Structure 1
Amino acid sequence: MTDHTPGSGDQPEEPTPRPESSSAGTGDTSPAGVPSQQPHAQRPDPENPYARPPEGQPAYAAQPSQDQQSYAAQGAQPHATQQQPWGHTAVLPQQSSGRRGGLVAGVAALALVCGLVGGGVGGYVGYQFGGDRAPSVSSLDQQRPARSVSTAPQGSVQQVADKVLPSVVQLQLVTARGAGEGSGIVISDDGYILTNNHVVDSGGAGSRLTAMFHDGRTAKVRVVGTDPKSDLAVVKADITGVTPAELGRSDDLPVGAPVVAIGSPFGLSGTVTSGIISAKDRPVRAGGENGSEDTVLNALQTDAAINPGNSGGPLVDMDGNVVGINSAIYSPGNSQSQAGSVGLGFAIPIDQAWRIATELKDHGSATQTTLGVLIGVGDQPGALVRNVVPGGPAEQAGVREGDLITKVDDRLIQDPDSLVAAVRSHAPGDRVTITLSGVGGERTVDATLVGQR
């Protein structure tokens, strides 16, 4: 699998080159890596500390070199030109007679003696007048408070963590091939948990799935239903009396809104990070084998730190309501054994996850929204219609082979993945307006989307 997701059972995803033709689109392109620079200092001659640097060359001149690891942080900036010791370039005088040299030495000795005497007199006077001073106060002698006085203000990360942590679990999958961890969200007090499909998938016969809750309890877990196309799954833990999370909404979530991510990155359960919503309606791939089109998601992008093991955990707003399911991270390079956060994390919007989770919990499977077209890449921005499914929503709306889909409602369609993400963000039965560019110019049609399993 070449795509990276933050579930620790498999590697975090990388973007996959777009296929020439597909029924559900291809992945988006991620930014290129940025090489770092590390300065190397040119030091003065230790045998002659007062020597001037060569003409035109500053002391401690930085000489940066290229670091081959992509997307690394920029190195420290080189120091500015520094002066020689004592604040100036010293020139030692040449003595012409021993008598003069002795005079200089005598003055130096006199200055040294005066310094010693001055220090001694000052110390004596300070000792005489400090005899009646008050005793010193030490922090180590003070009594500690009964509890921390830090109270969580309304809307703070601390308050959000206090509310949401009891509803987040660590999922541990043990298989014949090894073990891994992920995260999950409690959605009922009798043990139903929402997570990513790739967290619980690939277990096979003899695998064992366990949930560890915030209060320290553990329980065996069975899979209720999975949906690889949306990268979602519902599992059931053999436990009662747990705290379900409160689900919010993502359709009106503004870009720049503060959010908090909670999960078990690298097995560290109950980890809290914060950031903002960096972008919405981002077509990304997550959780599929070989970056298949079945895993194109209409994702929320966030700069809150998301790492392997965060998969399936919640992305919540500052009221503590779940607005997304953390699912993928961008991983620069392809030589890393296990990548970490570079500030590009992606979550499944809760509006879509809510519908899928309900169907998985009730029926064990979920329907996917479809328009009924096979699409590919054209020579202009948009999704080129290669084929129209007979009797499908597109054919009934008047979409023809060769049309270029450029909009779904007010959302611009740049490529096939954009169309897949836009369609799957809707529920079956939703009516959408599609803007087409074809032989007869631009036109719009209305289509009613349908669901298929």
Structure 2
Amino acid sequence: MTDHPPGSGNQPEEPTPQPEGGSAGTPPAGVPPQAPQPDSPYARPQSQSQSPYAPRSEPQQPFASPQGQQSQAAQQAEGQQSYAAQGAQPHMTQEFAHTPWPSAGGHTAVAPQQPHKRRGGLVAGVAALALVCGLVGGGVGGYVGYQFGGAQAPGVTSLDESRPARSVSTAPAGSVQQVADKVLPSVVQLQLVTARGGGEGSGIVLSGDGYILTNNHVVAGGGSGGRLTAQFQDGRSARAQVIGTDPKSDLAVVKADITGLTPAELGRSDDLPVGAPVVAIGSPFGLSGTVTSGIISAKDRPVRAGGESGGEDTVLNALQTDAAINPGNSGGPLVDMDGNVVGINSAIYSPGNGQGQAGSVGLGFAIPVDQARRIATELKEKGTATQTTLGVLIGAGDQPGALVRNVVPGGPAEQAGIRSGDLITKVDARSIQDPDSLVAAVRSHAPGDRVKITIGGSGGERTVDATLAGQG
């Protein structure tokens, strides 16, 4: 509550100016005393306002003489004396006690002033009039209260209202809700317990009999005495075993001892445009079934999934998204608005000194599904996967690009005429800014793909064709 300074707040109004020759509450000599009237907007003296019920062409008659012989001047004088007697009142005290009501003639009807000797008849008349005014006042009061207080009765709150009918509407097509309804049954929470500790992440159901795709770093150690458990959206859980892992692509396939699962639908990532809306689903910080949404922020982003201490083996050719991805989302799906998987969430950007557990800053990275599909198929069938290679050892130079330090004998690079000291600046139309860019670009292809390699440097620019090879 705000305190009011002295002199503020509800202060009495200035007294009503009094007629000359008299004071408030004391009528001049020779004039009979009048009963004070409440300061009601419905009972104003003629000198102040007209009755709302009287025609504008006729003056209001606030005090009608019983015999109808009193002159208008006398009536006005009597009204002014009565108004002066009551004084100024800042608030109405009895709002409807003396509320006027239109008579048959259109003028305001008020009980006539009778001498005290006719008290008996006057009491009966006043009683009847009071009953009518009470009913009228109640109706007018109800109307005014409705206008100022709304349709609800006094004291009624939102808590008193009945619950609405249960919503039976379906999710709009292409909405995040519809995507979540479709994909959630195909998302798994994975928990790993080993002798050195434990960890958790997410996975994607590949088949009804328990094959699950996830990240290698989620299940690393699960095949050497660790206990891996899969928790499903329908509340069931089952032990799982590692079928195959590929650290270079950070992908793994595990098999849960369960049936009756709902496999996810895999989409494609090669034609996914930047700015396309996407949804990420997983178990961040152990909160299973968490749904977040965003867009594809960038494509072909070279990312070291293992951080700065990681080597070439952890470089990803990633999709970048601003959908919230946190620890525990790893291995879960990134899906388009048709509910098709377009990426496997794998890494997040973590600014700062690395102390404590990282969280989302709107920079998440996912393995494109086109690459993940090929690797997962090999892991499921053979337990291992082949990586695409150009057959060179590279490093950083003093110019943008990847500097060739050595060429593998008989490899794709040697066959294409690439030599040590060459600076690779493009793979097809993709610009190469550093060694990680070249690794990501090559691994985005499958073994056997033919690509154009642009070589720059002091010797000028040239282009060669190379057929990429596979390496286990």
Rounded to whole Å, the distance in 2 between the matches of 1:329 and 1:123 is: 72
Contact 2:180 2:291 in 1 (8 A): yes
Partner-residue secondary structure (3-state), 2:178: helix
Moved more, 322-331 or 284-293: 284-293
Letter in 2 for 1:364: G
Letter in 1 for 2:241: R
Give the TM-score normalised by structure 1.
Answer: 0.72
1:347 equivalenced with 2:366 (yes/no) = yes
Q: Which residue of 2 aligns with 1:285?
A: 304
Q: Which residue of 2 aligns with 1:259?
A: 278
Matches within 5 A, 1:240-319: 240-287=259-306, 290-319=309-338
Contact 2:297 2:322 in 1 (8 A): yes
Which has the bigger relative contact order, CA under 8 A and spacing at least 6? 1
Rounded to whole Å, the distance in 2 between the matches of 1:179 and 1:160 is: 31
Matches within 5 A, 1:329-368: 329-368=348-387
Contact 2:265 2:340 in 1 (8 A): yes
Contact 1:406 1:436 in 2 (8 A): yes
Q: Which residue of 1 aligns with 2:437?
A: 418
Shift of 1:339: 1.1
Q: Aligned residue pairs: how many?
A: 353
Matches within 5 A, 1:52-451: 117-118=90-91, 120-121=93-94, 129-130=140-141, 136=153, 139-140=158-159, 143-145=162-164, 147-203=166-222, 205-287=224-306, 290-451=309-470
Unaligned runs of 5+ in 1: 1-84, 93-103
Rounded to whole Å, the distance in 1 between the matches of 2:383 and 2:152 is: 74
- Provide Cα deviations, 1:51-94, integer angstroms capped at 9, x if missing partner: xxxxxxxxxxxxxxxxxxxxxxxxxxxxxxxxxx99xxx9x9xx
Partner-residue secondary structure (3-state), 1:165: helix
Rounded to whole Å, the distance in 2 between the matches of 1:418 and 1:303 is: 21
Letter in 1 for 2:304: R
Shift of 1:172: 0.7
Q: Could you say if the C-alpha distance between residues 177 and 120 of structure 1 is closer, same or farther in structure 2, counting changes exceeding 3 Å?
A: farther
Unaligned runs of 5+ in 2: 16-86, 100-136
Q: Could you say if the C-alpha distance between residues 119 and 150 of structure 1 is closer, same or farther in structure 2, counting changes exceeding 3 Å?
A: farther
Contact 1:314 1:326 in 2 (8 A): yes
Shift of 1:139: 4.9
Contact 2:188 2:233 in 1 (8 A): yes
Q: Could you say if the C-alpha distance between residues 142 and 236 of structure 1 is closer, same or farther in structure 2, counting changes exceeding 3 Å?
A: same
Identity, in percent, stands at 80
Larger radius of gyration between Structure 1 and Structure 2: 2
Shift of 1:284: 0.1
Shift of 1:170: 0.4
Rounded to whole Å, the distance in 1 between the matches of 2:191 and 2:446 is: 32
Q: Which residue of 2 aligns with 1:101?
A: none
Partner-residue secondary structure (3-state), 1:166: helix
Shift of 1:322: 0.2
- Provide Cα deviations, 1:15-51, integer angstroms capped at 9, x if missing partner: xxxxxxxxxxxxxxxxxxxxxxxxxxxxxxxxxxxxx
Q: Could you say if the C-alpha distance between residues 205 and 371 of structure 1 is closer, same or farther in structure 2, counting changes exceeding 3 Å?
A: closer
Contact 2:349 2:363 in 1 (8 A): yes
Rounded to whole Å, the distance in 2 between the matches of 1:186 and 1:211 is: 11
Q: Could you say if the C-alpha distance between residues 439 and 109 of structure 1 is closer, same or farther in structure 2, counting changes exceeding 3 Å?
A: closer
Moved more, 437-446 or 223-232: 437-446
- Provide Cα deviations, 1:252-291, integer angstroms capped at 9, x if missing partner: 1000000000000000000000000000000001147932
Contact 2:13 2:89 in 1 (8 A): no
Contact 1:228 1:287 in 2 (8 A): no
Letter in 2 for 1:413: I
- Provide Cα deviations, 1:329-388, integer angstroms capped at 9, x if missing partner: 001102431011000000000000000000000000000000000001111111000000
Indicate the RMSD between aligned Cα atoms, in angstroms: 2.9
Letter in 1 for 2:141: G
Shift of 1:179: 2.6
Partner-residue secondary structure (3-state), 2:275: coil
Contact 1:231 1:287 in 2 (8 A): no
Rounded to whole Å, the distance in 2 between the matches of 1:411 and 1:191 is: 38
